[in-house]
Structure 1
Amino acid sequence: MSFRIQARKRVDDEIRRVVIERIERAQESLNAGSAKGVHNARKRLKEIRAVLRLVREPLGKKVFTAQNIRFRDLGQGLSSLRDATAVIESWDALTEENRKRFNSPAMKRVRGRLVERAEKTSQSETAGSHADLVVALEEAKHKVSGWKLKGKDFSLLESGILKTYKDGRAALKVVQNNATDETLHEWRKRVKDHWYHTQLLMDAWPEHFKSRQKCLEKLSAYLGDDHDLAVMQLLLEQEPELFGALSTRQAINESILAHRIQLQAKALELGQRIYVDKPAALLEHWENLWNVTAAPEKSKKAKKHKPAGLLPYLVEPVSA
């Protein structure tokens, strides 16, 4: 099934089902023994951690912390391949921005070295069967079946929705005041949590949540591309031999900085629209949508409330 909670079913059962399905998909991806499989497994583990953050209070601090660390550690061993391929993607994006500069022979040689580096990483990542990780995921799956969640219906989700949204707004304010690699990366993580949560709640009103999801996906892409360029900048400092002569490195860094300025400006503009609503207003609105879907006969009891800005801003995804 898709990555969403069915509103007319028991929420605790749905949480366990979604996590177990993500684990099984991660196992299937790893068993494929390909670079794409490793990448997909990593994404499934990120989705699991987003579900955990959605129900951290109902799970209890002890269980949440243990499970979050478990899935974090399982995913960390799969990150080097993504970083290596992301550098190539970032390079190609820079080429699109300035073809004259990046189509020179010197720049093409740099790309060749980066591709060779990524291929070596890929061979290392996919050389084994990841059998140990598959077994560890199987053990984790059995643990999930025994999760006990306090509460029922939408109340199981309220605290997680509220915290994720508040954290995203707070991280946005930090970036507005001081945009560093660290603050931008922290905001990106909170944006992705909110994005995953809109996917999980899609059943409450597909049209609304799909629109919001697309906006969050675009924002996540801006911040992700900026992060990948930051990784390239770090690589430029740590392994300058990959990037050729000093003049070539200076030209690359100049392009990175210019592109990052553009990406950050787009992210801030879109982020202000997405996070325009007060947390309590957004939560109340989402709860009403959920209750209408989960129990239509009780929907008349739902408070009539429409948070200012939410629907007008997010009827359609904002264009780049």
Structure 2
Amino acid sequence: MAFVLKLDRDPGAELARVMRLEVDSALHLLAVTPRDAGAFRAAIHDARRALRRCRAALRLLPSDLAIDTLVRPLRAAGRALSPLRDAQALLETLAQLQQQQPALLGSAHPVLLQRLMRQVRAGERRHVDGVPAAAVALRTLATTLAGWRPEVSHAQLWRGLRRGTLRATRAAHAARGRADEAALHRWRRRMREHALQLELLSAAWPQVLAGEVAERKRLARMLGHWRDLGVLQIHVRRLRCEHLGRLRRDSLMQRLRGAHAQLLQDAFMLGARVHAESPRALAARIARYHAAAPAGNAAHPQRGSS
């Protein structure tokens, strides 16, 4: 399902269409039974991604158009699923490390996997009640969206993109200044939202903007992996055993700290390039792409779009 607005059509109708598709997708995903553990974890991940897309779409709008009857159930669904998703995230971190840096974990991988799997299953049992609560909130949202069609211009979309880019840029500056977990987590969230908003508007010139969207998403994933590596270190530190396979726990901690520091350095380097263009310049550029697009792709350009 493409998360892209058809810019030659009415922007308000397009936003409503995209949000309805995402909510329907999330409801379908939440119907997956927890008995199928792998499919269930993938479904929760994808459902939360659909919610993030909806939030990013709403944040393109002026505040008076993003009405509370849309915002409240969306926030409630996200909060209901968040503890369940947090319980599952460590397994993905472990899988990613094993795939990308198998030498880092070495013989500790099967031991860690066994121990973390027990924690994940316990967390899923504790928080699985969040799924029906999220589904109730999403059904409420779907009812509201059925009759929702905001009056919004292309110019307002460009201004919304500028606001989202500015939020991400400011979060990046704050993270570089402090480099603590809270600041980096905020940067990740803002960057993820900014990437989704740019993806929504990428029909202005798909061949060019696809690469820019991909790099922004890559940065958001790096920041998420950095956070998850920190959580993994906490879990390893709490283990009572001194050896994990043939690897001493202290040695594993040293490897994890090194990978953690390198990942942050790489994120800052990529961030400097992603944020090199000012929010005003980026929004104006997308507006010009739209205005210059062939007829039938981005018709009816509007004035004042920067």
State TM-score, norm by structure 2: 0.84
Report % sequence identity: 23
Counterpart of 2:89 (choices 86, 89, 98) is: 86
Paired residues for 1:100-249 under 5 Å: 102-104=106-108, 108-122=110-124, 130-147=131-148, 149-152=150-153, 154-236=154-236, 240-241=238-239, 244-245=241-242, 248-249=248-249
Gap regions ≥5 residues in structure 2: 34-39
CA drift at 1:150: 4.7
Deviations 1:40-89 (A, max 9, x none): 111111111111111143515xx25x633431221222223432332123
**Bigger Cα displacement from structure 2, 270-279 vs 139-148:** 139-148
Deviations 1:120-145 (A, max 9, x none): 4345656x794453333122112124
Q: Which residue of 1 aligns with 2:37?
A: none
Deviations 1:71-126 (A, max 9, x none): 1221222223432332123234445546276315xx63233110222234345656
Partner amino acid, structure 2, of 1:79: S
CA drift at 1:260: 1.3
Q: Which residue of 2 aligns with 1:70?
A: 73
Change (3 A) 1:83 1:132: closer
Aligned residues: 293
CA contact (8 A) 2:192 2:220 kept: yes
Change (3 A) 1:129 1:187: closer
Change (3 A) 1:111 1:131: closer
Q: Which residue of 2 aligns with 1:18?
A: 18
Change (3 A) 1:56 1:251: farther
CA contact (8 A) 2:222 2:263 kept: yes
Gap regions ≥5 residues in structure 1: 306-320
DSSP 3-state at the match of 2:63 = helix
Change (3 A) 1:115 1:192: same
CA drift at 1:227: 1.3
CA drift at 1:8: 0.8
Aligned mates of 1:257, 1:134 — CA distance in 2: 39
**Bigger Cα displacement from structure 2, 264-273 vs 130-139:** 130-139
Aligned mates of 2:299, 2:158 — CA distance in 1: 21
State TM-score, norm by structure 1: 0.80
Change (3 A) 1:223 1:130: closer
CA contact (8 A) 1:31 1:129 kept: no
Aligned mates of 2:79, 2:200 — CA distance in 1: 24
Change (3 A) 1:250 1:217: same
CA drift at 1:146: 4.1
Aligned mates of 1:36, 1:92 — CA distance in 2: 14
Partner amino acid, structure 2, of 1:163: R
DSSP 3-state at the match of 2:30 = helix
DSSP 3-state at the match of 1:32 = coil
Q: Which residue of 1 aligns with 2:56?
A: 50
Aligned mates of 1:286, 1:144 — CA distance in 2: 27
CA contact (8 A) 2:93 2:228 kept: yes
Partner amino acid, structure 2, of 1:143: T
Change (3 A) 1:198 1:113: same
Change (3 A) 1:98 1:38: closer
Q: Which has the higher contact order (CA 8 A, sep 6+)?
A: 2
CA drift at 1:253: 2.9
Aligned mates of 2:130, 2:166 — CA distance in 1: 40
CA contact (8 A) 1:30 1:129 kept: no
CA contact (8 A) 1:94 1:256 kept: no
Partner amino acid, structure 2, of 1:141: A
Once superposed, what is the RMSD of the aligned Cα atoms?
Answer: 2.9
Aligned mates of 1:21, 1:98 — CA distance in 2: 38
CA drift at 1:20: 0.9
